[in-house]
Amino acid sequence: MFQQLTALPADPLLGIAVAYRQDTNPKKVDLGVGVYKTEEGATPILTSVKKSLQILLDSEDSKSYIQARGNQAFLDGMEKLVLGADNPLLSSNRVESVQAPGGTGSLRLGFELIKRGNPNAKVWVSGPTWANHLALIKASGLESAEYPYYDKANNQLKADEMLEAFAKLGKDDVVLLHGCCHNPTGEDIPADLWPKIADLAVEKGFTPFIDIAYQGFGVDLETDVQGVRHLLSRVPEALIATSCSKNFGLYRERTGLLTTISETPVLAGAALSHVLNIAREIYSMPPSYGGATVGILLADEALTTEWKTELADMCARMRTLRALLVDKLHARGVDQSFDFINRQNGMFTFLGITPEQVQAIRDEYAIYMAGSSRINIAGISNSNVDYIADAVAAILKK
């Protein structure tokens, strides 16, 4: 059965993590895999999450399956978090959500639903996008294509080119949009552009699919999804994949949900039935702990307030680290400007250096990042920022 198989190359980012762990250099720095880190380099369990987990442990009385849709408090709480508690969509019976194993599982459910709804659909992704988007689209049997997004030479959004590309799409097209904190560039769609995207979606009939993995990591919980909410208020149908890995720190609990917005309540029920059927064929029932924990947290006003404070602190820290890195690089007299890093949002940015320079920094300084020069801002600390700036400056001056 397995005689014809040959080993596949390691996932680039996961391979970086392995190489970093094996490196014996005491000064090594991990700017690769996208997890939040403290000043000490730890990825903590949030205090609000610990309290919610304890409530769950004390109250749980069975290990039987939860309902196929997932934890109801989780679904209700997350819909309100993303859409807004007073969003009329929530009372329209056009919105349905299903808990899934992480943001990746949510995306896969969405792509499989698209495949059932329109096997000829083409999914358009930003250039560049999170690498796993392309793998998930391909695994679902869908065709993908790239729309203009980031100008690497000038470190800015290709706004006009993106809108021109959207103007050529139609009803067989799905546009995958990052809700906030674009991965891998950190370059977000500005507030004034979302209405223009909504206009084109309505006019041309393409379907938006929003990936929200970092709500609260950009500016704040509300600002980060204002553009998304405007878009969703305008279009007849859309999909939203949401992850709780980053903003709740539930990486290993694989906690996410797929939300569908349909044109009518009848179509919403049909979409839900297919999503549940797809889930049944892939993993049958959703995991419990992550969803139950978030459900408890979002249903408790005190815990929600504590969580929002912790989230705001993480967001502020990353904003401070961006400014610190820019200041340190400029202080070393490098020719190119890194001011764009301060404009961007979330965990990621491109340094704008070549793959060869990325490799040189890894070989000479044991600083690990993706070959594209994408770095995890949260991997920077007060104790390593000078070392990072020295390395980047030295390589750029060669």
Q: Is 1 exposed, middle or buried (0-12, 13-18, 19+ CB in 10 A)?
A: exposed
Q: Is 300 known to be catalytic?
A: no
Q: Is 246 known to be catalytic?
A: yes
- Supply the angle between the helices 301-331 and 289-299 in degrees, to the nearest 10: 100
Segment (H or E) for 186: none
Catalytic-labelled residue, pool 173, 246, 300, 328: 246
Task: Give dist(CA 168, CA 250) in Å, integer.
Answer: 39
Whether the Cβ atoms of residue 117 and residue 207 lie closer than 8 Å to each other: no
Whether the Cβ atoms of residue 33 and residue 18 lie closer than 8 Å to each other: no
Task: Give dist(CA 152, CA 184) in Å, integer.
Answer: 12
Catalytic-labelled residue, pool 30, 51, 124, 130: 130
Catalytic-labelled residue, pool 30, 173, 188, 211: 211
H helix runs in 300-354, sequence order: 301-331, 340-343
Helix (H, G, I), strand (E, B) or coil at 311: helix
Helix (H, G, I), strand (E, B) or coil at 162: helix
Helix (H, G, I), strand (E, B) or coil at 89: helix
**The two three-digit tokens of residue 61, written as one number:** 């009385």
E strand intervals along the chain: 29-30, 95-101, 122-127, 143-148, 150-151, 156-157, 173-178, 207-212, 238-243, 255-261, 348-350, 367-368, 374-376
Q: Is 307 known to be catalytic?
A: no
Q: Are strands 374-376 and 348-350 parallel, antiparallel or unpaired?
A: antiparallel
Active site residues: 130, 211, 246
